[in-house]
């Protein structure tokens, strides 16, 4: 807006008319008269009587004397009575003058009172503004104070009604005063034309003035009483409510402190239990590791023994043949011994030589066989190594191409600034320059995405007619171009208070070359758009009062553009509120962000803008959304969490803690007997089909019956996720001293169990596949640690076993053991990655990258989450979008994770190197 039109801005004195309130009268007038403004009439009363230029007497007295002079010419015999009357008239006139002075003083007093009333009204408005600020500062207690605020609004409305009624009564009194004054003027004119009735009229006038004075006094008293009562009532109510709110806040703080103390004690107990459990877990892990090593040694020993037995069997067969030959030779020698003793001795010697030669030949042949085997083994190893290297290079090339493709499609953000470039916006334009310079690095660090920038510098429709198009800059990755463009743009123009935001948005959508997936528009303005629905200026101050911004906002919604509104002045509040309603009607609230920078330092606004852009950029790319995204549901807006990477305790967890100490309320549970089955996915089936995940079906799993369990099941679900409802199940035991076992039973969101066993197994499919992958991941990690002789040991993570419960009605429930502890999400299926430095977080994100590489880039296991070393509820995104579940976001989910993984790549590098994965 132009500086010449700055009177339309509240900061420069303009206050738009609120609703249909009656305009307040202006009681401050030029010196010498009082102007009482009334909706139906207006009366001006002179403080001082008007004199003619040539004399010092009042005008009506001079007229009266002239009339008397004319009469005296015709009635010379009545000179004495006329003189007497003249004297009486002078005395009467003196009284009238005194009354007029009293009336003037009264009117002046009335004016002062009205000024005081205006001041009090201003104070009331200031108090109301302060009350609004208090409500904003205590926004976190809105739920607790909602009822009180609602009652306060009703009382305020009633008070405004009372004030309006009082003002109306005051106006009626003023109207009666005017009527009295009109009568006085009429009587004064009659006095000038009828000399005989002067004395009677003077008495009537005196009585009337007394009545006027009495009415004025009563009016003054009423107004003072009304003002005093109104202010006292407001002050008392405000003080009482403030004290009440203050007391409630103190009570609430005490409750919070008590809760915090209790939580601290529980946390201390939990830490002790965690330490004990962790030591037990370590012991169990060590025992498992020792058992695994012993089993491996036993297996190797068994294989060696079997091989040795085979060799011994071969040698025994060979020796048996040779023994037969030797026996035959011995028989021949025995016969020859009798006949030819010398020949016998010779043959015996030859026989010893033959045996020695046979043994020597046997050793040489074995050595030759071993040598040949080693050569063949080395050749096979070399061929296998060459093949592995070739496959490794091929996969590396394929991964590089995929990463480049993902960066091109999901690795960029497009940000457009819509800047109001009318006269008053020059300081904000400079802040926009600084924002662009600082935001590029910040957005890159927080989202791992590059930014492209564009500008639409709009004014009003008059300038648009002259220019034909608003000044614009196409998308560029050079901040210098943006800065130079803004420096060349001058802030001028703006004919009326609103500006042409509608034209700017439509030009942004139609003229700019949007290419990337993530699009953001930030509006920087200090004036609303055209259209009386979007501001409080009224039709007289808007050249286009019937304009409607709705269509432009809907175009941004259709093009998936995230819209950021910045409040610099309060006159844009109504516009942004109407824009919010449009997004709500389309159920797209997550695409609109509104930030209030009215209290920001003028020279530090750019820092706030950088923070806003960074936060919205994270939301636009979904890198900070911890929820699971499904194909049938839109993007999820940011929700407040207790910690950056942890979610609050679930109702089931709190209930389990309660049930550990107390007996459950049987009214909330159903006692049932189930047949329990465990689902198992064989290694053979997994090795055959893991590269072609779409071929894995229900028939590849086998069920192992665990027996019959007596359980208590909650009647209603205690929690709901993206796809399932969760019930609590307690396994009953005859041993009262045995610790209770809690299970979480899951059903579809319609809260009905599965009708067939196949349907239940199909629901477990993704979890069971992830379970096998985690076992493979652990084996490869252990083998890599052993080969590379790395001393560091990582915790052994598992996906818990799933059980299927069959109830008496033939319904199937999926059950999973409940583990107490903090539930942590390490990534989701749409680009969120946890940036914590813990080993479990490193394992969780490395596991996702591992499955993508080892599956030959066919799919990615993500949505990694769980309690301690027990993970659960994974999701799988497939490159060909096989839609194994609604959480399979296909290529989209994989691309999001691949780009966001760079945020934690350095922390996961050690595990990736152990696994020989270069990503």
For residue 611 the two structure tokens come to 């923070």
For residues 96 and 202, give the distance between their C-alpha atoms in angstroms, rounded to a whole number. 8
Note whether 768 and 861 are within 8 A (CB). no
Residues β-bridged to residue 451:
413
Residues β-bridged to residue 45:
34
Exposed/middle/buried for 187, CB within 10 Å: 0-12, 13-18, 19+? middle
Binning pLDDT at 50, 70 and 90, where does residue 602 land? Answer: confident
Residues β-bridged to residue 804:
677, 814
pLDDT in tens, 718-746: 777 666 788 888 888 767 667 778 888 88
The answer to whether residue 560 scores a pLDDT higher than 60 is: yes
Tell which residue, 617, 426, 592, has the closest CA to residue 523: 592
State the DSSP H helix or E strand holding residue 744, giving kind and residue range, or none if neither: strand 741-748
Q: Which residue has the tokens 């950056």?
A: 644
Exposed/middle/buried for 50, CB within 10 Å: 0-12, 13-18, 19+? exposed
Note whether 506 and 512 are within 8 A (CB). no
For residues 808 and 815, give the distance between their C-alpha atoms in angstroms, rounded to a whole number. 16
Q: What is the pLDDT of residue 594?
A: 95
For residues 664 and 456, give the distance between their C-alpha atoms in angstroms, rounded to a whole number. 64
Higher pLDDT, 813 or 69: 813
Q: What is the pLDDT of residue 75?
A: 41
Mean pLDDT comparison of 87-101, 285-299, 834-848, highest-scoring range: 834-848
Please state, for a pLDDT cut of 70, what percent of the chain lies above it.
Answer: 64
Q: Which of 23-37, 265-279, 383-397 has the lowest mean pLDDT?
A: 23-37
Longest dimension (CA), the chain: 218
For residues 29 and 129, give the distance between their C-alpha atoms in angstroms, rounded to a whole number. 29
Q: What is the pLDDT of residue 595?
A: 94
The answer to whether residue 491 scores a pLDDT higher than 70 is: yes
- Cα–Cα distances in angstroms (integers) from residue 108 to residues 5, 75, 115, in the given order: 36, 46, 11
Q: What is the pLDDT of residue 18?
A: 43
For residue 716 the two structure tokens come to 């209603």
- Tell me, yes or no, if the pTM score tops 0.85: no
Tell which residue, 610, 600, 595, has the closest CA to residue 432: 610
Which of helix, strand or coil describes residue 439? helix
Residue 726 gets the label, from left (phi > 0), alpha (psi -120 to 50) or beta, of: beta
Q: What is the mean pLDDT of residues 141-150?
A: 61
Determine the number of helices (DSSP H) and then strands (DSSP E) in the chain: 18, 21
Higher pLDDT, 208 or 561: 561
For residues 115 and 333, give the distance between their C-alpha atoms in angstroms, rounded to a whole number. 151
For 120-156, letters b (16+ CB in 10 Å) and e give eeeebeeeeeebeeeeeeeeeeeeebeeeeeebeeee
Q: What is the pLDDT of residue 177?
A: 73
Q: What is the pLDDT of residue 92?
A: 73
For residues 818 and 301, give the distance between their C-alpha atoms in angstroms, rounded to a whole number. 40
Tell which residue, 801, 746, 776, has the closest CA to residue 854: 776
The answer to whether residue 368 scores a pLDDT higher than 80 is: no
Higher pLDDT, 70 or 919: 919
The answer to whether residue 1 scores a pLDDT higher than 90 is: no
Note whether 621 and 413 are within 8 A (CB). yes
pLDDT in tens, 800-813: 888 999 999 999 99
Tell which residue, 734, 543, 608, 775, has the closest CA to residue 8: 543
For residues 270 and 641, give the distance between their C-alpha atoms in angstroms, rounded to a whole number. 21
pLDDT in tens, 312-355: 667 666 666 666 776 676 666 566 555 555 655 666 677 677 77
CA 624 to chain centroid, in Å, comes to: 9
Q: What is the pLDDT of residue 103?
A: 78
For residue 169 the two structure tokens come to 């009564």
Q: What is the mean pLDDT of residues 616-641?
A: 59
DSSP state of 879: T
pLDDT in tens, 274-286: 666 666 666 666 6
Q: Which of 35-49, 131-145, 778-792 has the lowest mean pLDDT?
A: 35-49
For residue 86 the two structure tokens come to 């003249």
Q: Which of 362-371, 485-494, 621-630, 707-716 has the lowest mean pLDDT?
A: 621-630
The answer to whether residue 502 scores a pLDDT higher than 90 is: yes
The per-residue DSSP string of 407-430 comes to HHHHSEEEEEEEEE-SGGGHHHHH
pLDDT in tens, 16-47: 444 444 444 443 333 333 333 333 333 333 33
Binning pLDDT at 50, 70 and 90, where does residue 775 land? Answer: very high
Q: What is the SS3 assignment for 683-734? A: HHHHHHHCCCHHHCCHHHEEEEEEEEEEEEEECCCCEECCCEEEEEEEECCC
Residues β-bridged to residue 753:
none
Tell how strand 33-37 and strand 42-46 pair up. antiparallel
What homologous superfamily is domain 413-471+480-488+495-606 in, according to CATH? von Willebrand factor, type A domain (3.40.50.410)
Note whether 598 and 560 are within 8 A (CB). no
CA 231 to chain centroid, in Å, comes to: 42
Which residues of 351-431 form beta strands (DSSP E)? 412-420
The answer to whether residue 915 scores a pLDDT higher than 60 is: yes
Q: Which of 30-39, 412-421, 597-606 has the lowest mean pLDDT?
A: 30-39
For residues 811 and 790, give the distance between their C-alpha atoms in angstroms, rounded to a whole number. 50
Mean per-residue pLDDT over the chain, rounded: 76
The per-residue DSSP string of 235-277 comes to HHHHHHHHHHHHHHHHHHHHHHHHHHHHHHHHHHHHHHHHHHH
For the chain, the first-to-last Cα distance in angstroms comes to 53
Apex CA 749: angle with CA 748 and CA 755, to 5°? 30
State the DSSP H helix or E strand holding residue 34, giving kind and residue range, or none if neither: strand 33-37
C-alpha dihedral (724, 645, 913, 831), degrees to nearest 10: 60
Binning pLDDT at 50, 70 and 90, where does residue 869 land? Answer: very high
Q: Which of 61-65, 171-175, 439-443, 904-908 has the lowest mean pLDDT?
A: 61-65
SS3 content of the chain, % helix, strand, coil (to 5): 60, 15, 25
The answer to whether residue 523 scores a pLDDT higher than 90 is: yes
pLDDT in tens, 432-484: 888 888 888 888 888 888 899 999 999 999 888 888 999 999 999 998 899 89
Which of helix, strand or coil describes residue 110? helix
Tell which residue, 453, 769, 826, has the closest CA to residue 613: 453
For residues 11 and 424, give the distance between their C-alpha atoms in angstroms, rounded to a whole number. 11
Contact partners, residue 139, CB within 8 Å, separation at least 6: none
Binning pLDDT at 50, 70 and 90, where does residue 642 land? Answer: very low
Tell how strand 719-720 and strand 592-596 pair up. unpaired
The answer to whether residue 641 scores a pLDDT higher than 50 is: no
For residues 624 and 835, give the distance between their C-alpha atoms in angstroms, rounded to a whole number. 10
| Strand ordering across the sheet containing 798-799 | 798-799, 870-871, 865-867, 823-825
Whole-number CA gyration radius for the chain: 48
Higher pLDDT, 97 or 23: 97
Note whether 3 and 427 are within 8 A (CB). no
Which of helix, strand or coil describes residue 231? helix
Exposed/middle/buried for 876, CB within 10 Å: 0-12, 13-18, 19+? buried
Q: How many CB atoms lie within 10 A of CB 835?
A: 15
Q: What is the pLDDT of residue 118?
A: 72
Tell how strand 471-476 and strand 450-458 pair up. antiparallel
For residues 427 and 497, give the distance between their C-alpha atoms in angstroms, rounded to a whole number. 18
Domains of the chain, by residue range, sit at 25-256, 413-471+480-488+495-606, 651-914
Q: What is the pLDDT of residue 320?
A: 66
Which residues of 787-862 form beta strands (DSSP E)? 798-799, 802-806, 812-817, 823-825, 859-862
Q: Which of 99-103, 441-445, 687-691 has the lowest mean pLDDT?
A: 99-103
What homologous superfamily is domain 651-914 in, according to CATH? Phosphorylase Kinase; domain 1 (3.30.200.20)
């Amino acid at each position: 807006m132009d500086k010449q039109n700055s009177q339309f801005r509240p900061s420069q004195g303009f206050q738009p008319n609120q609703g249909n309130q009656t305009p307040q009268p202006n009681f401050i007038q030029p010196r010498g008269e009082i102007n009482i403004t009334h909706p139906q009439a207006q009366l001006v009363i002179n403080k001082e009587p008007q004199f003619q230029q040539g004399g010092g007497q009042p005008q009506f007295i001079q007229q009266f004397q002239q009339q008397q002079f004319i009469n005296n010419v015709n009635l010379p015999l009545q000179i004495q009575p006329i003189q007497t009357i003249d004297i009486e008239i002078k005395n009467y006139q003196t009284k009238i003058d005194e009354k007029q002075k009293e009336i003037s003083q009264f009117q002046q007093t009335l004016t002062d009172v009205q000024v005081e009333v205006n001041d009090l009204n201003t104070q009331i408005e200031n108090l109301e503004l302060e009350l609004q600020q208090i409500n904003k500062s205590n926004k976190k207690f809105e739920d607790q104070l909602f009822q009180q605020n609602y009652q306060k609004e009703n009382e305020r409305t009633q008070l405004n009604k009372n004030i309006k009624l009082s003002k109306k009564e005051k106006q009626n009194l003023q109207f009666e005063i005017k009527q009295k004054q009109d009568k006085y003027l009429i009587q004064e004119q009659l006095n000038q034309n009828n000399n005989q009735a002067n004395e009677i009229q003077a008495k009537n006038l005196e009585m009337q003035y007394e009545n006027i004075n009495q009415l004025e006094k009563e009016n003054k008293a009423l107004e003072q009483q009304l003002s005093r009562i109104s202010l006292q009532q407001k002050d008392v109510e405000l003080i009482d409510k403030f004290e009440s709110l203050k007391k409630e806040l103190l009570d609430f703080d005490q409750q919070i402190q008590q809760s915090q103390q209790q939580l601290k004690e529980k946390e201390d107990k939990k830490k002790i239990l965690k330490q004990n459990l962790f030591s037990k877990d370590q012991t169990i892990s060590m025992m498992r590791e020792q058992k695994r090593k012993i089993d491996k040694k036993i297996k190797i020993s068994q294989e060696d023994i079997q091989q040795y037995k085979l060799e011994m069997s071969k040698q025994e067969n060979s020796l048996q043949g040779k023994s037969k030959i030797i026996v035959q030779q011995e028989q021949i020698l025995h016969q020859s011994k009798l006949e030819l003793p010398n020949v016998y001795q010779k043959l015996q010697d030859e026989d010893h030589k033959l045996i020695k030669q046979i043994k020597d030949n046997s050793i040489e042949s074995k050595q030759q066989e071993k040598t040949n085997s080693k050569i063949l083994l080395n050749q096979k190893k070399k061929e296998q190594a060459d093949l592995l290297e070739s496959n490794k290079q091929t996969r590396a090339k394929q991964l590089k191409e995929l990463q480049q493709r993902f960066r091109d499609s999901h690795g960029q953000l497009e940000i457009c600034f819509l800047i109001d470039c009318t006269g008053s916006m020059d300081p904000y334009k400079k802040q926009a320059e600084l924002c662009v310079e600082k935001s590029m690095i910040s957005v890159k660090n927080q989202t791992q995405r590059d930014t492209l920038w564009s500008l639409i510098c709009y004014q009003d429709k008059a300038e648009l007619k002259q220019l034909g198009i608003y000044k614009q800059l196409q998308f560029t990755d050079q901040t210098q171009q943006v800065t130079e463009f803004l420096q060349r743009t001058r802030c001028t123009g703006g004919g009326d208070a609103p500006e042409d935001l509608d034209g700017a948005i439509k030009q942004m959508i139609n003229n700019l070359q949007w290419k990337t997936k993530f699009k953001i528009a930030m509006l920087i303005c200090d004036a609303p758009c055209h259209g009386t629905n979007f501001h409080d200026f009224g039709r007289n101050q808007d050249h286009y009062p019937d304009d409607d911004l709705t269509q432009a906002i809907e175009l941004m919604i259709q093009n998936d553009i995230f819209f950021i509104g910045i409040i610099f002045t309060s006159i844009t509040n109504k516009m942004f509120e109407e824009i919010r309603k449009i997004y709500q009607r389309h159920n797209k609230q997550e695409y609109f962000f509104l930030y209030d920078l009215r209290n920001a330092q003028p020279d530090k606004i750019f820092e706030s803008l950088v923070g806003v852009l960074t936060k919205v950029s994270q939301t636009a790319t979904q890198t900070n959304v911890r929820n699971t995204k499904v194909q049938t549901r839109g993007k999820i807006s940011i929700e407040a969490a207790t910690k950056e990477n942890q979610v609050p305790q679930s109702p089931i967890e709190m209930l389990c803690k309660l049930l550990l100490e107390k007996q459950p309320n049987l009214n909330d549970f159903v006692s049932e007997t189930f047949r329990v089955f465990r689902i198992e996915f064989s290694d053979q089936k997994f090795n055959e089909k893991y590269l072609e995940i779409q071929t894995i079906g229900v028939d590849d799993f086998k069920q192992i019956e665990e027996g019959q369990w007596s359980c208590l099941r909650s009647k209603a679900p205690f929690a709901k996720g993206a796809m399932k409802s969760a019930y609590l199940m307690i396994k009953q035991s005859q041993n009262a001293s045995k610790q209770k076992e809690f299970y979480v039973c899951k059903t579809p969101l319609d809260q009905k169990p599965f009708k067939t066993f196949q349907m239940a197994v199909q629901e477990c499919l993704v979890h069971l596949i992830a379970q096998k992958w985690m076992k493979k991941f652990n084996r490869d990690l252990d083998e890599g640690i052993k080969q590379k002789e790395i001393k560091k040991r990582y915790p052994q993570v598992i996906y818990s076993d799933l059980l299927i419960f069959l109830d008496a009605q033939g319904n199937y429930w999926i059950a999973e053991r409940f583990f107490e502890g903090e539930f942590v999400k390490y990534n989701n299926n749409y680009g969120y990655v946890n940036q914590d430095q813990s080993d479990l977080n490193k394992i969780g994100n490395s596991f996702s990258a591992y499955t993508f590489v080892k599956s030959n880039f066919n799919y990615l296991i993500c949505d990694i989450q769980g309690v301690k070393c027990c993970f659960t509820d994974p999701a799988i995104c497939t490159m060909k979008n096989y839609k194994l579940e609604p959480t399979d976001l296909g290529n989209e989910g994989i691309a999001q994770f691949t780009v966001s993984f760079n945020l934690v790549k350095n922390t996961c590098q050690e595990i990736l190197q152990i696994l020989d994965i270069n990503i």
